Structures are given as C-alpha cells and as structure tokens.
Amino acid sequence: MTGSNNPSRSAQATDCDASMVTRERGQRQVFCGLAGIVWLHRKIQDAFFLVVGSRTCAHLLQSAAGVMIFAEPRFATAILQERDLAGLADCNQELDRVAAEILERRPDIKTLFLVGSCPSEVIKLDLAKAAERLSAAYRGRVRVLDYSASGLETTFTQGEDACLMSLVPELPALADTERSLLVLGTLPDVVEDQFQRLFADLGIGPVHFLPPRRASEFPPVGRGTRLLLAQPFLGETARALQGRGATLLTAPYPFGIEGTLGWLRAAADVWGIASERLEAVTAPAVARAKLSLGRQREALAGKRITFLPDSQLEIPIARFLSRECGMELVEVATPFLDRQLMEPELALLPTGVRLTEGQDVDLQLDRVRADRPDLTVCGLGLANPLESEGLRTKWSIELVFTPVHGFDQAADLAELFARPLARGALLRV
C-alpha cells in the first residue's frame, strides 16, 4: 500500500556521527505490520493472534505464512463485513463469539492477542476495552491482550514492536537484589539456543528472551535487568522496559562476526568477563564463520548496493556487507532512524555514505536508476518493477524471515545477497 508522511516534499540534512542524514517525506511503499504475526506465532507457542480486519488482511496473512491447507495455524481473522463498517452490527458481540469459538477449539492457548488493522481502526473499534472484557470473562484461563498492526503510518516490523510492548505490563517483577540479562527481539529457536550456549560458556546469566517460547515463561524485569537488543526495530518496547527499571546496553546488532562479537562484549563487560575469556569462548565459532564467509565474500566484494527503506534492518546489515563482505554502499535508507539504538552501528559505517531517513519513493527510484547499483534491497512492491528495468533486487522481508543472527548464520546472511547476483549473471549468459 502507498502512504504519505507529508504532502510536501522536503529534504533536511543533519549531523549524525560525522555523516549527513537526508530526511525525506513523501509517498512511501510500506508493507503491513500484520506480517509480524507470521514469525511471532511461530515463536510464542501457546499464543493465538486474532486479527480484526478485512478479507484482504486474511489473504495477506495466508500468503505471507505459506500455510498449507491441512495446517492449523495459531492466527485467524475476524472479518469485518459491510454491516460492521456501516455501524449496523455490534462488532463486540461478534468478536466475543469468535473468541469463544477459538478458545473452545484450542484449549492449549494461554495468550490471545486481539490485533488491530486498518479497517478496525477506521471504524474506531476499541480493542483495548474488548481485551479487558474478555480477560475478565476468561480470568485464570487465558490472558487477552491487544495491539495495533495497522500499516497506515508504520513499517511492517513495527508490528512486532507493538506486540512486545503489550507484554511489558504483564511481565513479573525482578527482585531488586537480583540481576539478569534480557535479550529483546524474536529469534529462531536454533539461534536462541546458540546464544544461550555462548552466554552460559561465558558465565553470563540468568538470560531471558522476549518474546519467550511460552507464555508461562514470561521473563522478570526490574532494576537489575540488563537489556540487549537483538533487533533494531523495537524502540518502543525498549523504552517501556526502561520505564520498568531495565538498563539498555549499548552495542551493535549481532549480524556477522564483528556485530556478534560487539554484542556479546556489551554483556560480558557488565558481567566483568575478561576480553581473553570472550575471545577463547568465541574462537571456534569465529573460525567457522570466517571460513564460510570467505566463499561469499568472493561474490560480493566490490559490488555496489543500495538499500531502500523498509525493514529498519538496513543500517546494521549495510555495516556487515561493507566491513565484512567488501561491498560498496551507494545509499542506505531506513524508514526511521532511532539514534539511541543506532549509535554503535552508525559509527561503523564508512565515512561519507549517503544516509536517508524516511522515503519519497519517486525521488529514491530516480536515484536508483541514476546510480545503477549491482543490487537494490527493497520491499516487495518495488522489486518486480526494478527487475523489469534490468536491476537486480533483494526482498528486505527475507531478512526477517530467515535465521541471520550470530556467528553460524553470517555466511547464510551474505548468501542472501550473493544469490540474486549469481542469478543475474546467469540471465545475462
């Protein structure tokens, strides 16, 4: 869908760690925040996501998830009909009925999320009150929460931020005498297990992850909580956790060898772990990553890449591709630039790189056509048109769906960018 930040087009430059950041406001290409349900419902194994929206919402989720006909996913759409939109029907009665059917059919569900969409927000359906009402009705049986995943003014990864922020008031309190590490951001189970082993080998703990795998495992939070972000698009949740006493650790994000080492070092410093121990514990994983990454670097070194704003992963991924894969950054654009969360990453970008916050899609496409980069990272809506013009593209949403964090995934992350280049070379033969 196409949105607009501001009807007027303007650009303003500001200083950002010796780099110039251009702010663009205009027409945007955005992907709906409902997409976050696809990875969140896989992570929180006893949660159900009920989208209150249209048939378009339902089709989007089914297409994004690739759910086969015999599967029973833990998400659904309560479809708003014409009578609902016209105010001729009681939406709350229908919502209660659908929720009752879900909970009767799925007794394993412990948390029910009511997810707002563009249609439900247009008709001002109060899902917060609905969640309160259903929580009272099912007290002791299921927790009912609400959040908005509307794509009207957001990018698709903010759906996860809104979901996790709704969990913060539900988290138990950490005793003032205790200390723990809280890793924030959805990670595939295999990656979470890898990080858990590294933290254990370093002597860092206890370590909790948000979101947890089950609602019964909600992590405690308090003044002794040290917060480490695994995803850069969770600013609102991070600030909500800080409001409950957590201390945010400053670190790059765990993409590639350099980013993962810096990320682990931030926690190790707080726990008083010596640098020598960190190097010894991570040495085998670093050696494996360097060996695997070397093969991908041969395909990427010297290639020019442009990032269009979509996922908020653009800056840390650009840092990885530049510093560890030898790619040349033509432009790095991101939907929103949270300076608090991006400060360590910005310091690692090459001097003078063209940085853009926000989007005026016509102006950015004009620059892509003029620059002719070897690869453009963009949303689904822009990829096919650019491919038709002979420009190779990479879907940014793949960076969220694919395990790419940590040492053992560094080569897999690089391969995501090497693959379209190899495909393009074959097409030219």
Residues 6+ apart with CB under 8 A from 383: 393, 394, 395
- Rounded CA gap, 407 and 279, in Å? 13
Per-residue CA distances from 75 to 102, 171, 414 (Å): 10, 23, 32
Q: What tokens does 22 get?
A: 């251009």
3-state secondary structure of 161: helix
- Rounded CA gap, 50 and 46, in Å? 13
Residues 6+ apart with CB under 8 A from 232: 253, 312, 313, 315, 316, 338, 341, 342, 345
**DSSP-assigned states of every residue in 183-231:** EES---HHHHHHHHHHHHHHT---EEEES-SSGGGPPPBSTTEEEEESS
Query: Burial level of 381, CB count in 10 A (0-12/13-18/19+)?
Result: middle
Distance of CA 129 to the CA centre of its chain: 27
DSSP character for 328?
E
Q: What tokens does 111 get?
A: 């948390």
Token pair 């939109």 is found at: 85
Asked if 357 contacts 336 with a C-beta cutoff of 8 angstroms, the reply is yes
Helices marked H in 138-175 — which ranges? 158-167
Q: What tokens does 269 get?
A: 């410093």
- Rounded CA gap, 410 and 422, in Å? 18
Rounded to 5°, angle at Cα 311 from 375 and 119: 130
Nearest to 169 by CA among 149, 187, 185, 146: 146
378 is in an annotated binding site: no
Which is it for strands 19-25 and 10-16: parallel, antiparallel or unpaired? antiparallel
163 is in an annotated binding site: no
- Rounded CA gap, 415 and 145, in Å? 38
Per-residue CA distances from 335 to 8, 30, 32, 156, 233 (Å): 17, 9, 14, 10, 10
Token pair 């945007």 is found at: 28
3-state secondary structure of 397: coil
16 is in an annotated binding site: no
Binding residues for [4Fe-4S] cluster: 32, 57, 118
Binding residues: 32, 57, 118
